[in-house]
Structure 1
Amino acid sequence: MAHPKRRHSSTRRDKRRTHDALTSKQLSVDSATGETHQSHRAHVHEGNLYYKGKVVVEGYAKTV
């Protein structure tokens, strides 16, 4: 395994770690159903699959 020849400074280490923080999921409320769901994702409500406030597949829960 390779070993570093020189020690990396704490500043250099911290610069690398700036992008490691986790971000929370973006949630939105569907206009048709009032259901809270993850943005840009289809969601199931009462057996139907909704996307952007419209029914995409009726009876989705029965087919899966």
Structure 2
Amino acid sequence: MAVPKRKMSRSNTRSRRAQWKAAAVNVVTCVNPACREAHLPHTACPACGQYGPKGERRQVLDA
């Protein structure tokens, strides 16, 4: 395992640790005017099954 040659200062340690922060999950609204549910981007809407703005041509059906 690697061993550091010099002691890392508090400011360097804290600035490195400051990068570890949680980010909020991005959500988008469904483009279906009847639905308008919030869902994750690049996934089908869990409420109506629509993926993207193309409407009936891109409906995701349960198999």
TM-score by length of 2: 0.66
Aligned residue for 1:19, secondary structure, equals coil
How far does the alpha carbon of each residue in 1:3-61 deviate from its partner, in whole angstroms, 9 at most, with x for none?
1121101110112122210101111221312111013x222434x34224734134x21
Deviating beyond 4 angstroms after TM superposition, the runs of 4 or more aligned structure 1 residues are none
RMSD: 2.2
The answer for unaligned runs of 5 or more in structure 1 is none
Taking a change above 3 Å as real, the CA distance of residues 53 and 10 of structure 1, as seen in their structure-2 partners, is farther
The answer for unaligned runs of 5 or more in structure 2 is none
Higher strand share: 1
TM-score by length of 1: 0.65
Matches of 2:54 and 2:37, distance apart in 1:
10
Q: Residue 37 of structure 1 is aligned with which of 36, 39, 44?
A: 39
